[in-house]
Structures are given as C-alpha cells and as structure tokens.
Structure 1
Amino acid sequence: MTIRTCICVFLLCLLPNCAAATIPIGMFRTECQDRHFWLSFKSNFLGQSFRFDVEDGTGVHTLLGQAAAECGYNMGLDSWGNLVVRVSYLACYVDNENDSVFRLLVWLVNRDLEGVETSYPLQLTCPLHHPWKPREIICEENYMEVSAMKQVPPANQTGLEWMPAPPVSSDGGLREWRVVFRVPSDRPEGMKEQTLPVEMAHLLGYRIGTTDSRVLLRGSYGSRLSYKLQEKGIEVEVVSATLLHKHHWTLLRADVSVACSISKASMDGDDILLRFPRVLPPLVPPPVTNERLRLGVDGAALSDCIVRQRGYDVQERDGLVEIRIPFGAEGGSIKSQVVEGQYSQSFYFDLFYMHQWADSQWALTEYRSFRPLSVLYLPRTPILINETSVSEGQFSVTLGSFPRDVFLTNITVGEQSMSWGEAEQMGVHLAQVPYPNGSHAYLLQSPFSHSLVSQKYIGEGYRRYTLALTFTLSVFPHSDLYHHPANLEADVQDVVLPNVTGSCSSKGVRLQLRYGTMDSQWEVYLGGRRLDWELVELGGYALETRWDYFSMVVPLYALGMDYEGLSLHGLAVTVSMTLEDKQTSKKELSFTQRCVFDVKELLVCLPDNTVLVIVDSSSVTPPLEPNLTTLLDPSCVPVETEGTRSLYKFSLDSCGTAVTLEEDHIVYSNKVQFWPTAPFGLTHIAPNPRFSIPVGCIHPVNGTRTLTIYQPRALQAWPYIRSSHSQHQHPGTRPHPFIQGRKRNRLPTGPLSSEVYPYLQHTHPDHHDAGGSWHHRRRKLGWPGVQPLHNINELSVE
C-alpha cells in the first residue's frame, strides 16, 4: 500500500531582493512520495512567466533544462497547464539528515506583464517511509539515477568487492574517486573501458555523489558515455559504470550501471500499450528471483486491487512486461479538442512502473520508471443514449461523457436555437449528469406534445414523433465549438383519424369533419379540388368551426358538387370529401354524400350534345296536360310526366333543333310547345300556340364543351359565414386547420359564367310571362336572373 504523508510546509521570506508572498489556499499541493518530493501549482496561479529556484546554505540556485536533469529535478506542465515538480530525495541542494529525513527550500518566482517578480517560498520536509534497498534505479522523464549501499555488503552481494587501496591525495574526498565507464567498441570483447576522475565525469554531465550510506550516479538522457541497445524489440538507453571510492583506507568498487527503456507507447484498440523488457541484461546477471511488479499514477504505487478496479492490465509475455491502460481510465487526464469539426480527445497518463528483483549480484534491486503517456487528437464521437419513454410520452436523451473542459452552451431544436435558460422557459428540460470519475453528460427531455416536435402519420394508427436537435458544446480554454446533431424518433399508436359525416338539407349538402388527433397532417379535397379559402368563397360555402370539428354546407349548384341524374323526382347530386397525407399524397379517407333535390324547372346542356329539360306548365290557364306537349318535331314527346311537369331528353341534332352561328358560338334552338286541337265544327284556329317555351344551348365553335345547368331564377344566396364570425358565436372554436390559404375581404365576381349560355322563354298567348318570364337577353357573362353552372360529369336521366 502506498503511504502518502503531507509535507511540513513553512512559508518563509529569506531572499532580500524580492517581494515574498503567501501562496493562496488551493493554489498548490505537496506530497511526500516514496523517494521524492512532489509539488503542483495551479495554472491560474502561475504568472506571465515563472521560474523554480531552490536554496541551500550556499545560496539560491535557478534550475533549468540540463542542470535540472543532472541535479535530479523534473519540472513540467500537465495537460491542464499546472506546474508539476518532482525532486529526488538525493537531488542537489536537498538537506539530507542520515538518509532518513529530507528538507528542501524552494521558491516559485512569478513575473507579471510589467516585469515585477513575486516570490513564494516553501520549506518542505519529508521523512523516509521505507528503508533503502541495496540498489535503487530511477528512470525519470529527463534523467537516470542509480544509488547503491556504501556500507560493507553482506557476503552474498558480489556487486561490492574489496580491493587493496591505492595511494590517494592528501585532501581525500571525491577528488580521489574514479569512474570506469564501459562503452561498445569494435574489439572482440565488444566493450571498452574509460576511467575518469569524478571531476571529469561532472563535466560530461554526470553527477557522482555520496551520502552517509549510499553512493549514486545520475545523468540526463543522451549523455556522452551512454549507449542504446535493443532488448526484445524495446529500445533501452544504458550507462554502464563502476564507481571506485575509498572506505577505511580500502578501495571499494560499486557497480553503478543504469538502464532505462525509452520506447514510446502505442495505441492498441482503445488501450495505451507500453512494453518493458522483463530483464535488462546490463543490470541483471542471472538467475533472477523474488520478482514483484507494481503500477502507480503520478509517482505513487497502487494496490493490486485498485489496479484491477481501474481496468489496468499487466501481463508478462515473451520476456516482456505489457501494460495496458484503457483510454480515459481513472487516474489519467482527458483534454478535449475540436479538430476540423470533429470532437477529439487527448489522454494524458503519468504512469509509475516499479519492478523489484533479486539476482546473483544484488540481494534486492528496486527499479522505478516514470513514464508520461499521451495520446493526441483521437476522434471520440460522444455517445448518445436514447432513453425515450413512449408510456410517458417524453423524449429523453443523454449525450456524453465529457471531461471537465467541455460545457453545453446552447441547443438547436428544428430551426430554433436557444440557450440553457431559454430552453427551460420553452419547456425543454436540460441537466448536467455527473459521474464518479469526474466526467459528466448532458440530459435533455421534451414531451412529445411540444410545439417543436414534428409529427407524421405513418399508417395503421401510428404517429411518428421526431425531435431534431443539435447540441452546441464549447471546449475550454479557447471556446472552440463542437456541434453534435441528434434525430430522435418515437412511433406511437395514438392517432385518431378524421371522421366525415354528411346530411342533406334544403340549402344544400352538409358535411361535418371531426379533426382527430393530427389535423396538420392532412390535405382536404372537395370534389377533386383542394379545399382552400378561394374555393370556400367562390362556392359560397357556409362554415361553422369548433375546437374539435368543422361543418360546411355546399349549396346546390355550387363548385364541388357532382350531378348524377335528373328526373321528375329531383336532381341527384353527390359531394365527395377526400383526405390525403400532405407528405405522401396517399388517400387516407374518402367520403361521399348523396342527395336528391326537388327541381321544378331546369335545363341541362351536356357535353355530348344531349339536352335535358324539365318544364312546368302549372301557370298556364286553362290547365295543360304535360304529356300533350312536344318539341318542334311533334314526334319528340316527353320521356316522363308527372302532374304539371314534363321531362325531355333529346339530341341537339334532332327534334327539329335549329342551328345558327353567333360570333364565336353555335346557338341550338328548339321549343317545348302545345298545339291545341280545334273544337268540332270550328274552322278558325289560333295562329299561335297556346303554350311555347324556347329551349336551347350555346357551345363554343372551337373549345371544350362542358356540362351546363340553367335554372329559371337564381337561388337565394346562402349567407356566407366566415370562420371569424363562427368563432364569435362559439368561444370553443380555433383557426381552421384544414382550409389552406388566406380568406379574402370580399367574394369574387366571375368565373361562374359558362362558355355556353342556355336559355328558356315562357310565352303566354297574350305575350305576357306565364309564371314569370325567362328573358332571352344575352350578355358576355350570361343573363341577369339566371345562374348557369358547369361540371365535368355527365348527367343522366333517372
């Protein structure tokens, strides 16, 4: 188990030439780790520029670059810009008390934009928690360090040997020490030795030191007398050296070789993979026993239980130790970026690897490696979890997870963009969902009934609710924006289709349409024409709208009415209403109402040159038997009579019909007439008929012939009821969802006049109108007092 003890920290002001200040609480953190001091300073506390100084009895020392590495100091910025410092207990300028208590006085010097420096002193004190091992090796980010026991070794430690002491200079100390370096050569034995005094080794970048109980060697990577080799495919940097030093007038030889793996980590799927050689030949003379592996984070080892809980994996395979760290695993740090519109993440993991073993030379070696691992700009599409509940009628979606540098700025639903607060006001719920590892996700909830949720009927009573949205996220610190679209759908069998009923009245055909639950889905057609306000106004339809239905009366002879048959029992008409899906044009509902209207007199011109006429002779005095009437051709008699009415059906090229040309129209003329028989013995017969009604049709010379209906008097106009008037009468009404377009301020004039102008004329023997005259006066748009209409359907005689 790793033991972390808080450093005893004293804030001091010892430098006379600088302004000393106290570091605010929360801006720094310190720990005593196994073999080093650990310090961290928050990024927002660091100045425009800064430096790290240390102080001992000889003065203040600024450590940068190569000097810091040679002295055992490692400094750098983590993924969040925080300054992290690790200092070896055996580093330069550390006050070492019997190799068991270590003290360090450090200064963080901040410089602002105006060049003013402020220094923050920290006195650090750390006790040694675990005894020193016979040999300890440290592979730091910027240096290699090895320390070994200086005392007389036990008999089983052949790594330390006695030998006769050569003559030494009078002042003694390190000046009398020698370092023997071994480097590769072309000689048969493969290595050559180079013996240097300690002073020369210092000039080459090596720090040779001694404490009460230990000797050490430290050097930066790439030093002059280091070399590289491949071990099991892993690149290793080696400094092979022996330190010769005096002990009680006897020369002691200590092996201070050090080797560190310098290969980079790689990605294997979603894991960061790092390999170490299990055995480093320059350090390990076989046989190897009593091995133990441990992993840690930020310089501190973890228990095997925590390693397993976090998903780290350590395997030994083919002489290699393979370490797998899942991307984003606990203990690491994730940093977000937006790269070419794609959300990406960088992962930083400060791996601590410790290996202990015994070999033929050392009773116990402890090997520590600090390996910062990083994966840059890996595309990481956020996971969208759809937890929509049909039973609750609510969309629910979670987007994540994100590290702490990602913030939701706004959402766009459909075409409407809104901030967090605006979304809440509009009924869209947003929440941040925290996770135990410090990451978070964003939850969005919206009811199906929300106005921004689109709806579509997909058949079988099912409605598809669709919520099209975009999350807009901002990445700290540069506020880079990332847009994540999402399209949520839910199919629910909750549709009540519109329902149409109909009835006949004295004013026309009444249709009632109940909206159902998807009034915006449908397009309504009446007699094949789309129902819009223009059609309503042209047809003079009477409307009444309520919240759940609307009703409409289609007057006789109005647009949208189809004529099926004419008999003395009445005019048979149908009005058809059809509902089509706006998006698919699929017919979802069709309804037809059939009605028969009493007709006293009527003339119908059919496109096929057929004429239908109902004539009423009730106004003639004395009474006239209708079955006695004929057309100009006496053989053309009524096809049906009843009471005072008669029904004729004939072709325009028969029954004595006369044809004349007037401008661009052909006029067909005939008469329904009665020629009385003279009483017996009378020789005088009236020169004019007692009953005569001109009938006929007008068709264009060149053009399409259409069905035309002519009635003797215009029907009384049915009052046009605007929907706003209906709303005034019925507070429960709403704007009509089915009628398209805009209502106009007044009814239009025109186009009810036809290209064909039928005409009739009653003539009394006294040349007065019998029952009201039908004037034979033609004008471009028809005759006053008459209402010609046309329809594409042919009319039959019933």
Structure 2
Amino acid sequence: MAFLSYFSLVSTLMCYATVTSAPTPRGVSLICHERYFMISVDQLFIGKNLRFEAVDENGVYPITAEYAVKCGYSIRVLHVKNNVQLRASYFSCHTDEVDDGFRFGFNLIVHPRGKEISVTHALNRTCSPSLPWSLREVTCEVNYMEVSVRSEVTCPPSTKKNDWDNLKLAHSPSSADWQVTFQKDGDQLPSTSLKEARSQGYVFDLTGGRLVFRTPYGRPHSFISVMDGVPVEVVHATLFSRQSWLVLLVDLVAACSVYEPSYEDEGYMSWETPELLYPGFLTTNYSFGLCGKLLQPNEAREKGYLMEKYNGTVEISIPYDAVGGYRKSVVAGGLFEFFTYDFYAEQISVDEDKIETRIRTQRTMRTPLLKQTLLDKNQTVLEEQRFTIYLGNIPQDVQLISVELNGLHFKAPFQNDSTIMMVKVVHTNHTRGYTLTVPFHNSLVIQQKFSKEDIHFKLDINYALMVTPENQLYNHSASYVAILPDLSAPQFEASCSKSGIRFKLDYKPSDYKWDITVDSEPLTAELAAKQGLIMSKNSQMLQLDAPLHSNGYKKMNFSLQGFFGTFEIHAQDQENPEVQSSTVKTCQFFTNEFIECTTRMTMTAIVNLSLAAASGGVPSKMTLLQQTCGPIEADATRALFSFPMNDCGSTVKLGVGTVTYENEILYSNKAVGDSDRVFLHCTYPVTSLHRLFSVMSFESDTPGVGRIIHTAQTALQEPQSTTKSAVSQQRQNLDSSARYIKVGFTAPKRLHGKRLAGIKVHTARKVF
C-alpha cells in the first residue's frame, strides 16, 4: 500500500561511516551485488577463528548474531567450502550513502593458528547498483525480512478500507509523534511508539532516500499465512504521524515464502513460493539463480534448472550437482555427500495502480546425505598377466591415505617399484582416481589352482581414505579374481620300474606353448627310436618309457646290490628359449650283469662269474689283464670292476669309424677257464673321441657301447647301455671289426710321438 499523502521524512537514525582504502588481504573477496555487499573469507588460508566489526565515523561495532539481524547483516559459515560469508544490505547500519553509491566499512579480526595475537584487516568498498530501485523492494534474507519504499510518493488514485482505519487511528491524541501499528490475522493491534517497537527488535530507518523497515523472522507480530499450499511469513506494519492538519501514513508489508527446500528422488532440490505473494498483485517477471546471479527462465533451462507454475504456485527445481553448488563428503557408517546452494530469486509484481514491487529471496538449500559411490573398475587384461584396477569418482575433499594388498600395507604416497605401481588420474569434473597395477606372479598375490586347466589369481584391496578437513577415516574394500590358463611348464609324473623309468603327462590347454626335449633335442618319434625310448601319445596324454639300456641315463653308486639311474626331461618355452623346466627322476636298479662305458672313458661292469666259480674260481681274487686291477666288490658268484680304459692292460682296436677298448677277467694269470672266458668291451664312434691318444686320459662326447662277452654263451649278449637302434648300428661296425686281421706289432709304447702306458694297440686292415 502506498502513502496517503506526499511523504518526506528525515530520520535521526541514519548512520554515517567514513572508511579508508586498504589492500584486500589474500584469501578475502569483496563482492558488490545488485542489492547487497558480500565479504567472502577463505578459512583454510587465514585460520578458523575470525569475527567481523562494522566501522563508521563514530566507532566500531562487533557483529554478533543479534546485532546482525538488527542491522541487516547475515553471517554464514560454509563448512562445505571452508568459507565464511558476510552479506550486508545496502540499507544496513553503518553504511554511508555517497554520490557514487554505498560505502561499506568492516574490520576482519583473525586469530591465526598457533599465534596468540590477533590480526585486524580493514575492509572497505563502495558499491553502485546499476539496476534502478523499484518503489517498493522486499528482501527475504536467511535471518531477517526487510522492506524499503521510496521516501517521495504521489498519492495513488485508489484507497482501501484499512487505509481509513489507519487514518482514524492517526487522529487519536497519542499520534502526535511517530507511531507504529501491526495487523495480525486481520486484526488491528494497538499502536506503539517507535522506541517501543525498536525495543522489540524492529528497525525503522531512513537511508538512501528510502524508508526501511527490518524485522527478524518469528517476531510476535508476524504470522504464517498458507497461500496456495505454501507457508508465507507476513509482517504488516503501518507507520503514521499526525502533525497539525497533516497526516503521514506509510504501510509497510513484508511477505516471504518460508517453504523448506526439499530433495526429490529425481535428483533435484525444489523450492516453492506463491505466484502472488501480495493479493491483487500481478507477477510480471520471475528469475532465479545461484550465488547472487539471476538467470532468466530460458537461460536457467539451458543449465538444467526447472520452473513450473501450478495452482498459483511457482516451483523451482535445481539439479543436485548444478554448477555453483557446493558439495561435501561425510563419513556416517559409509561414505556420503551432500550439496548446498546459495539460492537467489527475484519476483517482480505490480498492483492495480502499476506500482512495482520487487521481492528478492536468499535461501540456503541443502540436500540430505546422499550415498557416495566410488567407482571400482577392473581393467585387467589377462594377456598382460597383471591386475589393472581403477578406483575412481574420488571427491576433492577425500584423500587416499594407504592401501592394503592381501593384507600387506602400503602407505601413501605410494612408493612405486618395478612391479607394483599406483598412478593418480585427475578428471575435469573435479574428481580423481587411482590406477593400481600388480603382476599376477607377485609374491603378495594369492594363487589358487582349481583345475589342471586354470589358475585363479586373487587380490583383495582395502583403500584407506580420509575426508578432509575433518579427518574422518573411511575404508573401501574390493576383491578381484583373474582366471588365467595355466601357462606353467608341463609337469610330468615319473615312476620307477624294474626295467627303467616312465614319464607321463596329462595335457593342459597351454602345453602347446612348450617343447619337450631330451638331451637338448626336441622329442620326436625319430629321436625316441634313436635313443631307445618308447613314446606313445594322443590328444590327452603323453607317455615316455626310458628303458635302462637307453641313452640319456646318468648312473652312479654302483654296487653288487644295484645302482642309481637318473633320467631327465626338459620343457622349453617356444617364445623364450631361456625359460626351461625339468622333470628329473632317480631310481634304484638291480641287475645280475651290467656294463657302463662313460664319456670320461671309465668302464664299470658287474659280471656274472658263476661258471668260473663252479670251476673253482673265486670272484674276489680275479683280476683284469693287469693283475693289480681287481674287483671293487665281489661275492660268491659276481664281481664289480671299475677302471679307466687307459689302464689295467686294456687293448685298443681301431675299426672303420669306431674304437673298441677291450679287457679280460683272469684267474691266477690265466683265463678263468676254457669253459667260460669273459671279455669286457666298450666301443665308441671315432667322431665322438676328441682327444684320442693325445693325452693319457681320453674323453668322448657320447657314452660308449658296452658288451660283456662270455665265450661259453651261444650268442653275444645284447649291450646293456645302448639303445636297440644304436646297438644295431654299432653291431655292424663291430662285425666289421671282427673281420679285421691283426698285423704288425704288439703293445707299442708310443703312437704319433705319444707314450701309451699299459695299452696294447692293434692296427688292422679290413678283408674284403
């Protein structure tokens, strides 16, 4: 409602402030908005203990919560951004109106951390609003309501019933001085003096050419009116005075929506206000935004904001993650977050006389606690044989403190080594993540073999995260399993038998990557036949039998009770020949008669002398051709001989491509008997002897073919240390050598300039 007469009022309550310019300290921002001035202080920079004072030419005034609501200030601590904000109305106390606008003066008093003395910063700023003032403007702040009207207004052409009621009240004898009366629930309350009204927390002031009325929320004279389902707090004050024949009457009404913002499941914060806050008024424009910036409806829609009108109500919805909002992480039985917004709205209405009222609303919106979901992403590539784990969507106020990998603790910052790495990833949406890589075969990874085809690699991760600056600890756990085909080398099952060693392999899918070798040569059917091995295989398994007489054995610990034989099979990676695996099997064997011709040119033989013993011979007293060479061990029917081939009277026979070393077992300087002469033969291919007759000790690349020849036997005994194929081949050589004719000389002491001690060498020519 407007004035009933031309109004001009000079108030004694005007405040004048004189301030001086000073540099703005770092971490402090001074911002002029269209209808208020704001100071923003970064707590993280200057410390947490701070307060404000208003300053004018008459002194300084501490701004307490009570003083703030009285003088047009609002102070908020924004924990979500570690920030303190002070908003001051252009009509606040101690603000000086100057030609170019409104001049503000404040002191910021800071008590820095760790210091006993506080520091005072003078903050001064002059603000000049660019938007013209409407005749009536209403401010709905978070802690007070404020109405200002122009101090010079022409009487409108229309009047209402309450105008006349107030006019009658103004003619009462007590209205000689300025009085104020309130209307509540349609009733006119008794008038009171301005002094009494001020004592009740109401402020009436004249500043900037405008009459200002300010009141806290929830005063005794205010009331809640539900308009179109929206609660609205209303304070209706009428200021009047009668001076002689002139009556001055000002109607001041503040109406603000007190709708509590709500969070919708769709992810929006919503706030509502009646479309017609003042009955009979017509809304001509509605705009809103965040952080003191107003957006027109079209612009707001582009940012994802929504504005809907229904049943006389305006509903505004803001996306929970809208730009300009502030988020904060919280640990409350889990990791949560909430968002807050400095909501700002403007509604312009006109009455029937086309007089404009501008209503501006400041509200703090806050979502409930929302579950914060961290992003666990398994980026493991099996071919790389390592875990690659990504933890993302980590907010800025959450720090990674440490990581546990299968119970092994790693403190952040992560000390990367050559095997385990943690890489930080920063995203444009102000979140970050970490990529962790751990090789499958690292010692901390748990390996579990559930089948012959697959190996399971397990990695349990616990991330220790801390919400700052409150230092709230939150643990986030995840578990990962990688199933990898068993790429390990084939593992043979090996078993012993009386006649040799058996190797068996059950194929697994990855065995195609490996080659099986014997004596460094790939195992093929041809090699098996050459070596005297027996191989059988199909799509499911491979079996290899190594008879005792086959090549490839290592024999040791000979005695009449037997000896130990070792056979070895290798698996070689086709892609990396340096990677090998071996299956080695050692078995104890017993044989009645046996001969071994080693590559170091040593002959070892277990000989059955039962025929000689039956003729009166004693095996323990028998010797080789050189009588000093007797058995190492003997019993009633057998004897064990082991001697170098260049000793003990051995003779050498040169054949076509072969060399044969021969010795004989004697009894009392004679053969053991006509019934059974026993000869020991070791035959080597010439190509394998690579220091033949050059030194006294000879060497061979391959073992020799040994034979124990009993003259009493009707057939030659098969060689015991060679394969059947090798025997067959060398038999031809031996048969050829049997047709040699001894010629020339016996037992030369030197050959090619070398002395051959204890050896008889026979040269021969072949008879065709």
Q: What is the TM-score normalised by the length of structure 1?
A: 0.59
Q: 2:260 aligns with which of 264, 285, 309?
A: 264
Asked if the contact 2:235/2:255 (under 8 Å) is kept, the reply is yes
Asked if the contact 1:514/1:549 (under 8 Å) is kept, the reply is no
Asked if the contact 1:348/1:375 (under 8 Å) is kept, the reply is yes
Distance in 1 between residues matched to 2:155 and 2:384, nearest whole Å: 77
Q: Write the mapping of 1:131-170 to structure 2, written as runs, cut at 5 A.
A: 131-153=132-154, 155=156
**Which one-letter code corresponds to 2:131 in the other structure?**
H
What's the counterpart of residue 71 of structure 1? 71
Say whether 1:339 aligns with 2:339: no
What's the counterpart of residue 243 of structure 1? 239
Asked if the contact 2:297/2:307 (under 8 Å) is kept, the reply is no
What's the counterpart of residue 110 of structure 2? 110
Distance in 1 between residues matched to 2:377 and 2:187, nearest whole Å: 62
Say whether 1:219 aligns with 2:205: no
Asked if the contact 1:11/1:22 (under 8 Å) is kept, the reply is no
Cα deviation 1:140-196 (Å, max 9, x = unaligned)? 111111112232247478699897997899xx9xx9333221013xxxxx5233322
Asked if the contact 2:170/2:241 (under 8 Å) is kept, the reply is no
- Cα 1:415–1:47 change in 2 (3 A) is closer
**Which one-letter code corresponds to 2:561 in the other structure?**
A
What's the counterpart of residue 311 of structure 2? 318
What's the counterpart of residue 406 of structure 1? 398
Asked if the contact 2:485/2:510 (under 8 Å) is kept, the reply is no
Cα deviation 1:229-284 (Å, max 9, x = unaligned)? 3334433221122233689985343331112222322322263533323235xx41
Say whether 1:484 aligns with 2:484: no
What's the counterpart of residue 731 of structure 2? none
Distance in 2 between residues matched to 1:738 and 1:328, nearest whole Å: 64
Asked if the contact 1:410/1:472 (under 8 Å) is kept, the reply is yes
- Cα 1:551–1:72 change in 2 (3 A) is farther
- Cα 1:287–1:124 change in 2 (3 A) is closer
**Which one-letter code corresponds to 1:64 in the other structure?**
T
Q: 2:465 aligns with which of 449, 473, 478?
A: 473
What's the counterpart of residue 298 of structure 1? 291
Distance in 1 between residues matched to 2:383 and 2:569, nearest whole Å: 41
What's the counterpart of residue 766 of structure 2? none
Counterpart secondary structure, 1:301: coil
What's the counterpart of residue 530 of structure 1? none
Q: Following TM superposition, by how much is the alpha carbon of 1:91 offset from its aligned partner in structure 2, in angstroms?
A: 0.8
**Which one-letter code corresponds to 1:216 in the other structure?**
V
What's the counterpart of residue 720 of structure 2? none
Asked if the contact 1:179/1:197 (under 8 Å) is kept, the reply is yes
Counterpart secondary structure, 2:191: strand
Q: 1:286 aligns with which of 273, 277, 280?
A: 280
Cα deviation 1:637-688 (Å, max 9, x = unaligned)? xxxxxxxxxxxxxxxxxxxxxxxxxxxxxxxxxxxxxxxxxxxxxxxxxxxx
What's the counterpart of residue 200 of structure 2? 204
Distance in 2 between residues matched to 1:551 and 1:229, nearest whole Å: 99
What's the counterpart of residue 433 of structure 2? 442
**Which one-letter code corresponds to 1:347 in the other structure?**
F
Cα deviation 1:74-121 (Å, max 9, x = unaligned)? 0121123322000000111111236x6100111112346776343211
- Cα 1:199–1:408 change in 2 (3 A) is same
What's the counterpart of residue 713 of structure 2? none
Asked if the contact 2:138/2:148 (under 8 Å) is kept, the reply is yes
Say whether 1:718 aligns with 2:576: no
**Which one-letter code corresponds to 1:444 in the other structure?**
T
Q: Following TM superposition, by how much is the alpha carbon of 1:69 offset from its aligned partner in structure 2, in angstroms?
A: 0.3
Unaligned runs of 5+ in 2: 1-16, 520-532, 551-558, 589-608, 623-633, 638-768
- Cα 1:434–1:204 change in 2 (3 A) is same
Distance in 2 between residues matched to 1:448 and 1:66, nearest whole Å: 64
Counterpart secondary structure, 1:716: strand
**Which one-letter code corresponds to 1:718 in the other structure?**
G
Distance in 2 between residues matched to 1:738 and 1:240, nearest whole Å: 100
- Cα 1:11–1:318 change in 2 (3 A) is same
Q: Following TM superposition, by how much is the alpha carbon of 1:134 offset from its aligned partner in structure 2, in angstroms?
A: 2.1
Counterpart secondary structure, 2:565: coil
Cα deviation 1:115-147 (Å, max 9, x = unaligned)? 634321111100011001122111111111111
**Which one-letter code corresponds to 1:65 in the other structure?**
A
Cα deviation 1:353-394 (Å, max 9, x = unaligned)? 222222336632222111112235433121334444567776
Cα deviation 1:412-459 (Å, max 9, x = unaligned)? 33333324554522444434333434x212130427656255666788
Q: Following TM superposition, by how much is the alpha carbon of 1:60 offset from its aligned partner in structure 2, in angstroms?
A: 1.6
Q: Which has the higher helix share?
A: 2
Q: Following TM superposition, by how much is the alpha carbon of 1:68 offset from its aligned partner in structure 2, in angstroms?
A: 1.1
What's the counterpart of residue 57 of structure 2? 57
Counterpart secondary structure, 1:424: coil
Asked if the contact 2:507/2:541 (under 8 Å) is kept, the reply is no
- Cα 1:510–1:165 change in 2 (3 A) is closer
Distance in 2 between residues matched to 1:217 and 1:288, nearest whole Å: 23
Q: Following TM superposition, by how much is the alpha carbon of 1:43 offset from its aligned partner in structure 2, in angstroms?
A: 0.7
What's the counterpart of residue 668 of structure 2? none
Q: Following TM superposition, by how much is the alpha carbon of 1:220 offset from its aligned partner in structure 2, in angstroms?
A: 0.7
Distance in 2 between residues matched to 1:93 and 1:394, nearest whole Å: 68
What's the counterpart of residue 181 of structure 1? 182
Counterpart secondary structure, 1:200: helix
Asked if the contact 2:36/2:89 (under 8 Å) is kept, the reply is yes
- Cα 1:161–1:391 change in 2 (3 A) is farther
Q: Percent identity?
A: 26
Q: Following TM superposition, by how much is the alpha carbon of 1:10 offset from its aligned partner in structure 2, in angstroms?
A: 11
Cα deviation 1:600-623 (Å, max 9, x = unaligned)? xxxxxxxxxxxxxxxxxxxxxxxx
Asked if the contact 1:68/1:74 (under 8 Å) is kept, the reply is yes
What's the counterpart of residue 688 of structure 2? none
Distance in 2 between residues matched to 1:464 and 1:516, nearest whole Å: 15
**Which one-letter code corresponds to 1:231 in the other structure?**
M
Distance in 2 between residues matched to 1:762 and 1:274, nearest whole Å: 112
Asked if the contact 2:501/2:567 (under 8 Å) is kept, the reply is no
Say whether 1:380 aligns with 2:372: yes
Asked if the contact 1:157/1:363 (under 8 Å) is kept, the reply is no
Q: Write the mapping of 1:618-637 to structure 2, written as runs, cut at 5 A.
A: none
Q: Following TM superposition, by how much is the alpha carbon of 1:574 offset from its aligned partner in structure 2, in angstroms?
A: 10
Distance in 1 between residues matched to 2:518 and 2:254, nearest whole Å: 96
- Cα 1:339–1:88 change in 2 (3 A) is same
Counterpart secondary structure, 2:563: coil
What's the counterpart of residue 126 of structure 1? 127
Q: Write the mapping of 1:29-68 to structure 2, written as runs, cut at 5 A.
A: 29-46=29-46, 49-68=49-68
Q: What is the TM-score normalised by the length of structure 2?
A: 0.61
| Alignment length (residue pairs) | 562
Cα deviation 1:722-770 (Å, max 9, x = unaligned)? 99xx99xxx987796989xxx9xxx999xxxxxxxxxxx9899889999
Asked if the contact 1:134/1:148 (under 8 Å) is kept, the reply is yes
Distance in 2 between residues matched to 1:457 and 1:362, nearest whole Å: 86
Asked if the contact 2:330/2:336 (under 8 Å) is kept, the reply is yes
Asked if the contact 2:404/2:463 (under 8 Å) is kept, the reply is yes
- Cα 1:368–1:399 change in 2 (3 A) is farther
Cα deviation 1:456-494 (Å, max 9, x = unaligned)? 678897766654323222221233222222334556679
Asked if the contact 1:509/1:575 (under 8 Å) is kept, the reply is no
